[in-house]
Amino acid sequence: QNSLASQRPGIALIMDILCFLWMLPSVWAVEEVLMDSTTATAELGWSIYPSQGWEEVSGYDEHMNTIRTYQVCNVFDSSQNNWIRTKYIHRRGAQRIHVQMKFSVRDCSSIPSVPGSCKETFNLYYYEADSDVATKVFPSWMENPWVKVDTIAADESFSQVELGGRIMKINREVRSFGPVSRKGFYLAFQDYGACMSIIAVKVFYRKCPRAIQNGAVFPETLSGAESTSLVAARGICVPNGEEVDVPIKLYCNGDGEWMVPIGRCMCKAGYEALENGTVCQGKKAIISLVATT
């Protein structure tokens, strides 16, 4: 018994820590995926213009999983203007869209006799629409009507060749754009003279998770249209709690993180805050619980 009793303080402390961690609200941003090219079980079937530009092929990711990729390497021909367009992507209420790209680019200086028109960058565009209206010729394959997001450059390019195979260096870049207001959109990638491969594309949006803070419950909230946006969320006091001072709020920033808490809820008379302020428990119930133990 003495041995068990000596262990109880340590066991109780561990249990308190575990309970505290379990009750902590999640503060990490929630990412909702709208499209992920690596999940395709068949051809992606994105639109290509012109036909002798980009080519869809089977490839491997860094974990040697089979994926569908797009590649182009018309570096010996000048004045390149090669496009690929994704299928229609529903935005599902999101106002700001994030695009994660994995790609590899051949170092122009490693290609013998390559002309000066060789590039190591490509362009990312988007086009909004309320339905899947794209055809082979619409929207036109040019900036305006397409909206340019950015010119994407490789941090690392590959140049070595071993046993007839390339040593790939995979680049990862994320870009975002907004506000978007139509029901959906397309993405497009423009090559204008690179030897490269687009390995994976993931499209997603962010939102702040449901949280309990300052004695109030805050609902899951979509991030705003701009990276600097702050979207106000109104909190609801936990049962047997009440607002004090000012209406309680939290703000969801552009990265899907809660910030700038305003106001708080306190337990009503006769109740006491427990479990890291997430519960207002009646004091009589607490006394009764202690007495029975």
pLDDT for 141 beyond 80: yes
Q: Tell me the domain boundaries of the chain.
A: 30-206, 209-282
**DSSP character string of the chain:** -HHHHHHHHHHHHHHHHHHHHHHSPP-SPEEEEEEEGGG-SS----EEESTTS-EEEEEE-TT--EEEEEEEE-TTSSS--EEEEPPPEE-TT-SSEEEEEEEEEB-GGGSTT--TT-BSEEEEEEEEESS----SSSS-SSBTTBEEEEEEE-S--B--EETTEE----EEEEEEE----SSEEEEEEEESSBEEEEEEEEEEEEEEPPEEETTEEE--EE--SSTT--EEEE-EEPTTEEEEEEEEEEEE-TTS-EEEEEEEEEEPTTEEEETTTTEEEEHHHHHHHHHH-
Query: Does residue 130 have a pLDDT over 90?
Result: yes
Q: State in words which class domain 30-206 has.
A: mainly beta
pTM score > 0.85 for this model?
no
The per-residue pLDDT for 78 is 86
Q: What is the mean pLDDT of the chain?
A: 85
Point out the least confidently predicted range of 51-55, 82-86, 115-119, 171-175. Answer: 115-119
List, for residues 151-197, the tens digit of each pLDDT value.
Answer: 999 887 766 554 345 556 789 999 999 999 999 999 999 999 999 99
pLDDT at residue 5, as a whole number: 42
The percentage of residues in the chain with a pLDDT greater than 90, rounded to a whole number, is 66
Which of 29-43, 133-147, 159-173, 243-257 has the least mean pLDDT? 159-173
Tell me: domain 209-282, CATH 2.60.40.1770, correct?
yes
